[in-house]
Structure 1
């Protein structure tokens, strides 16, 4: 009998549904919410409303693309956390209703673990144990992965996530949300060695990005007092310089973790793993340190239901199910 799982992702500002059949992703539909760009960040209430409007059409399209009917499903998975409470509630409620109506099992998935297991959607796949640098707008973590469901956080940010640092620096430059991808594009034409910014050094393998964000703010404010067009006239070099600093901070801790754990299987995941500068730097570091590097396709970097489905597949294989009274967990621990 085939194992057919429908997965729903609604943790933030993207509504997604995917179908996984016996460990193979057959569809992955994503509806992005454009409304937040005018506000400079995600507005939780607007996100929840957009999820309510999109979830049924997205699920129907995922089933259609996979060539299955809802009666073919053997389980339904949803993102349990972390994320925005209202957004999580939409996905959880839909999944619970469907599971109850079809009398099939329910699976609650940790969003961050799913980012790591996105590496098992397609080949090549890392071998256990491996390290995964998980970088997004809300999280920055170095994770040791010993098995599909056996993961340990070795280090993480104590304040801002690196994706948030990218977006806030972009906002300081007058760039619309989401600013991270625009910084990446501008950086390709800039001088990464032009400007220096101070940063906060954290002990062990933890991160802090609030210091460099503040340094960037004060630097641009001071320069703009001398020249009101400073940011506009130097936007490429500013983008390249801040991107270089942020990537260097990420790579410094990742290199220490690889040496500490004696692991040469290195992966990245999360929305910021789509950054071209980080990807290239990781490839070059792999050549230098003898790492085998794993970088996901762009479509599996940002929030998507395929990674939720993949995680649910391994949870189902290990009988890790959720009950119908399972609550969304906005601050769900890893």
Structure 2
């Protein structure tokens, strides 16, 4: 029996009604969705297509590439370069932006993407994903690198796909965050998670505690308080989750709540953070804020940060409002010297947070 369901195309027509150049933006997002369908099919085959393992190449960040990193990057480029909708594209896997071939016309949008987030997990059959962001290119000339360096508050659309037991696309065009599940029988994305909301309160946090010794004291303070549970200053127990795939960790927060942290640390201080501002932090921050959460570097709103480089990295703390605000307060107190000593039951009277410990 046929059921009337909201497809991605119908959703975009309704959401973008009356917006400038709405048809072009909707068409671009449909092209991105088509690329995601192709990536979903490729990822589902795993080792059957010989796409597991690692290559002898590295991306611009010096990370070892997987075969699927390159394949998924090419899939997105080829789905979006020909339609006259984008002026240019930039990817985590490419050192320089991609110029639209001369035989194709240029549009007014810039597409930025991480083609396969969490690709280190692909050999383990753990959920991976694709993250994307859309900006407006307001010049007639071909874009140069500086045109991509726009703060996240200028995004006109952002989203991610997660490739798990089902393929889910989460999207925002500035009117909330909404989830679509790929119906493989008809080849279409169907609205299944309308108006996602991140609860203000949570008892779950996601962080890689193996880096704890490298964190700044405010982050150490927060995590130690959470781990102390009912016997600590928070007075309640917390659960820790860490999948090591940003898409998977953020998806859990959008569905169940929580706070995700990849904070600044001194393990690689010259990088300024671990996650890419343009390809990961900005689109995820838009989705979280559109769902009622907050997204911060620990000191500033991510979406207000002015990018300085195409592959710039930043600290990322996002999710439930009350927990992000608490982490921001701990950073402020540490920076101005008013933070209170924290005594962990794990360390008796020792504390990393006493003023004299910073010297």
What is the TM-score when the length of structure 1 is the normalising length? 0.28
The structure showing larger relative contact order (alpha-carbon pairs under 8 Å, at least 6 residues apart) is 1
- Higher helix fraction (1 or 2): 1
